[in-house]
Amino acid sequence: MMGLLVTVSAVSAQAVSPTEAMTAGNQSYEAGNYAQAVEIYETMVAAGIQDSTLYYNLGNAYFKQGQLGKAILNYRRAYRLDPRDVDNNVNLALARSQALDKLDTANDGAVTNFVKAAEDWLTLDEASMLALGLWLLLCGLAIVAILLPRFRQVSLWAMAVVGLFLIVGLISIANRLYNDYAYPPAVVVAEQVSVMSGPGGADQYVVEFDLHTGAEVTQLESHDNWRRVSLPGHDFQGWISADALELVNPN
């Protein structure tokens, strides 16, 4: 036990490398000391380390502790950095299945679903690099169409296809950036919280309904220590205490 405490102190003082800190956290987790693992992983996060594996491990440690909201929060943070991680996706689905509040998303149109599929497959950085590559390819095809008339018809058709994918990519990127700024996703981490009709307690406003740990919401507005949130796929919205939720994007 003393060795583990020394390890946490060293991590806090940044006296060890991220690899050593991760190893120490993993050893604590494997030994069943989940609180110690959480402390080490959270210290790494507080030091500014953003890594999908780190968030995945932190989600697992919280899940083992029965802290469902924190587990879903960190699985979603891992998903932002690596949406194709099968293990993380499986654990996220498992954690969501245990949440009391089952909030279904709306069934949108084909274009919206196509954009959503792109977001589920690529990170924001990957989507940006792909958009840049498509733009350069589009410019190359335009040059071919101008300089080589015999390939003009083929080039124009290729430009149409590449242009379509480029537009979808740009819509996806713009949608992510806008939502992260204006309507950031968040997760309820309190065991239970009352959703109020205004930014205040029950002595000022009406209790609309309750949310439980692990509920995934969208933050619409901030006012002092209160946050107005909405529920995906529903018209329900209201105000909850700021310390009852955490944003998926910690930046």
Both 171 and 189 in one domain: the answer is no
Tell me which amino acid residue 207 is.
V
Any domain includes 81: yes
Both 71 and 118 in one domain: the answer is no
Would you say 92 and 75 are in contact if contact means Cβ atoms under 8 Å apart? Answer: yes
Any domain includes 84: yes
Question: Tens place of pLDDT for every residue, the chain, 251 residues?
Answer: 434 444 555 555 456 788 899 999 999 999 999 999 999 999 999 999 999 999 999 999 999 999 999 999 999 999 999 999 999 999 999 999 999 987 665 555 555 555 666 667 788 888 899 999 999 999 999 999 999 989 999 999 999 999 999 998 898 888 888 888 889 999 999 999 999 999 998 889 999 999 999 999 999 999 999 999 998 877 789 999 999 999 999 87
What distance, in Å, lies between the first and last C-alpha atoms of the chain? 33
Any domain includes 105: no
CATH number for 92:
1.25.40.10
Q: How many CA atoms lie within 13 A of 227 on its CB side?
A: 22
Both 13 and 93 in one domain: the answer is yes
Would you say 215 and 188 are in contact if contact means Cβ atoms under 8 Å apart? Answer: yes
Q: Which two tokens stand for residue 133?
A: 């590559």
Any domain includes 103: no
Would you say 161 and 153 are in contact if contact means Cβ atoms under 8 Å apart? Answer: no
Any domain includes 104: no
CB burial of residue 235 (10 Å; 0-12, 13-18, 19+): exposed
Strand order in the sheet with 185-188: 207-212, 192-196, 237-241, 226-230, 216-223, 185-188, 245-247
Task: Note down the domain range covering 243.
Answer: 185-247
Both 170 and 230 in one domain: the answer is no
Q: How far apart are CA 218 and CA 186, in angstroms?
A: 6
Given its phi and psi angles, is residue 108 left (phi above 0), alpha (psi -120 to 50 degrees) or beta? beta
Cα 130–49–65 angle (5° rounding)?
110
Would you say 168 and 112 are in contact if contact means Cβ atoms under 8 Å apart? Answer: no
Tell me which amino acid residue 189 is.
V
CATH number for 200:
2.30.30.40
pTM of the model: 0.83
Q: How far apart are CA 241 and CA 78, in angstroms?
A: 25
Tally of structural domains, the chain: 3
**CA 221, 216, 100, 41 torsion: positive or negative?**
negative
The string of DSSP codes covering 181-225 is: HHS-EEEE-SSEEEEESSSS-TTTS-EEEEEETT-EEEEEEEETT
Both 243 and 204 in one domain: the answer is yes
Any domain includes 123: yes
DSSP-derived 3-state class of residue 229: strand
Residue-level pLDDT at 172: 84
Residue-level pLDDT at 142: 93
